[in-house]
Amino acid sequence: MGLFNRGSKSDVPLSGDEWSSNGDSRKRERVAPSSEEEHRQEPQAEREEDAVAEEEAVEVPEAEEAVSTNGVPDQASPEEPAVEDAAATEQAVETEKPAPPPPEAKPKPPVNRAEPADGDEARMSAEQALAPVRRPGSGRPPGAHIGDQSERRAKIISFANQKGGVAKTTTTLNLAVAFSESGHDVLCVDLDPQGNLTMSQGVDPDKVERSMYDVLVDHIPIREVIQGREIDIAVASIDLAGAEIAMSMQIGRERSLEKALSAVVDDYDFVCIDTPPSLGLLTVNALTASDKVIVPVQCEYLSMRGLVQLQNTLEMIRENLNPRVEIEGILPTMLDSRTIHAKEAVEILEENFGELVFKSRIRKAIKFAEAPVRGSSVLKYDPQGNAAQYYRDLAEEVLTHGAS
């Protein structure tokens, strides 16, 4: 539509031309008529003079559309022209000021969802709506941090001592099997490149296709390296010897094990990690992922000196990586109660570490050396022997109140 409401005049066609006597509309003279248009002009000179008079009567300021107070265009009188000259229309549009932009419409409120029918399982209670409860471990994507122990099922325990030959692997395996005998689901993780824990369950580290090396370096799911034996075990291989170098350029390399374990921490009650005899990157990964640390200590003076260095490492881990890790207890191992030196070593431990020293004692026994040859724990190899009972007592102490 143009600037005028053409539909308001019943005797004027929508094109703006006047009706002729025979019902057809005739063209109005806007520019000099051509030779063809002169033949089409009506012979009535009176009508032509009237049309010219109407055009002269129209002024530019009156080209704007008249609007009533209620926002509806006023009806034009029969004496007003149907349309204005084209040149005058263009001039009026140019002189017209741009209208201010309309105010932004307020967003409509969201449509309420339909209420569930009575008995619908999707209906939430008032308590759920006001204080939703997150199920432990729910929605944890692979690669996420394992979080606090209250948010998951598994308790993660590392067995660490930078000195070798202190029965660390023996303690990891046999305590894990003792937990399993008590009805708990247990996973062992072999982080020692020597693969002694893996061999102790009858698995050849040289023949495994994938190991913890692939988990830490290539970030494959840890489930792909878990094998079921007396307990589930994430196996190791000699490739782990090069894992620290391969991981040294990775971002977040100290948390590689923690992220890997996040996928299985709700499948087990305990995760027991056997660490290498050093305080390198593999041991740091284990301590970063752990809640507790059990420190096997041979009852000899030189073996106990390493505890100070381990404590310093744990303090560094708590300050920078894992504030929740604590020493669960110090376990005297390979105890020969017939010697005075062994008795003095235990006394030194208790004087310096007090309640952190377990009441349980792991005494020397030939069964500990024989069981790995059969690819089993001492609890399976000699279930009624004294060696098996040592670790059952330790498991009961850990399950009840720990070293304290």
Q: pLDDT tens-digit profile of 284-321?
A: 999 999 999 999 999 887 777 778 888 888 999 999 99
pLDDT band at 252 (very low <50, low <70, confident <90, very high): confident
Tell me which of 74, 92, 110 is where a domain ends: 92
Whether residues 182 and 309 fall in one domain: yes
Whether residues 276 and 395 fall in one domain: yes
Amino acid at 6: R
Whether residues 261 and 390 fall in one domain: yes
Whether residues 88 and 164 fall in one domain: no
What mean pLDDT do residues 339-354 have? 89
Q: How far is CA 123 from CA 118, 129, 319, 378, in A?
A: 8, 10, 45, 53
At 151, is the secondary structure helix, strand, or coil?
helix
Whether residues 82 and 165 fall in one domain: no
The mean predicted confidence, pLDDT, of the chain is 77
Is residue 282 assigned to a domain? Answer: yes
Ramachandran sector of residue 72 (left: φ over 0; alpha: ψ -120 to 50; beta: rest): beta
Is residue 4 assigned to a domain? Answer: no
Tell me which of 24, 59, 92 is where a domain ends: 92
Q: What is the DSSP letter of 187?
A: E
Domains: count for the chain: 2
Whether residues 78 and 153 fall in one domain: no
The residue among 71 and 223 whose pLDDT is bigger is: 223
What mean pLDDT do residues 55-75 have? 46
Whether residues 233 and 377 fall in one domain: yes
Whether residues 156 and 73 fall in one domain: no
Say what the pLDDT of residue 152 is.
82
Say what the pLDDT of residue 328 is.
95
Specify whether the CB–CB gap between 259 and 145 falls below 8 A: yes
What are the tokens at 39?
A: 């033949």
d(CA 403, CA 295): 11
Is residue 289 assigned to a domain? Answer: yes
Whether residues 228 and 365 fall in one domain: yes
Tell me which of 92, 121, 141 is where a domain ends: 92
Whether residues 284 and 367 fall in one domain: yes
Whether residues 244 and 382 fall in one domain: yes
What are the tokens at 77?
A: 């009188």
Q: pLDDT tens-digit profile of 127-178?
A: 544 444 444 444 455 445 676 666 788 999 999 998 888 999 999 999 999 9
Say what the pLDDT of residue 153 is.
86
**Count of all residues that appear for the chain in the document:** 404
Is residue 281 assigned to a domain? Answer: yes
Say what the pLDDT of residue 342 is.
87
Is residue 109 assigned to a domain? Answer: no
pLDDT at 277 over 60: yes
Is residue 384 assigned to a domain? Answer: yes
Report the range out of 14-28, 75-89, 132-146, 294-308 with the highest average pLDDT: 294-308
Is residue 32 assigned to a domain? Answer: yes
Is residue 220 assigned to a domain? Answer: yes
pLDDT band at 39 (very low <50, low <70, confident <90, very high): very low
Q: What is the domain extent for residue 233?
A: 149-400
pLDDT at 58 over 50: no
Say what the pLDDT of residue 238 is.
92
Q: Which of 96-100, 272-276, 347-351 has the lowest mean pLDDT?
A: 96-100
pLDDT at 227 over 70: yes
Q: Which of 268, 116, 290 is nearest to 191 (CA)?
A: 290
Q: Which residues pair with 293 in a beta bridge?
A: 158, 327
Q: What is the CATH number of the domain that holds 266?
A: 3.40.50.300
Whether residues 30 and 172 fall in one domain: no
Residue 392 CB neighbours (<10 A): 18
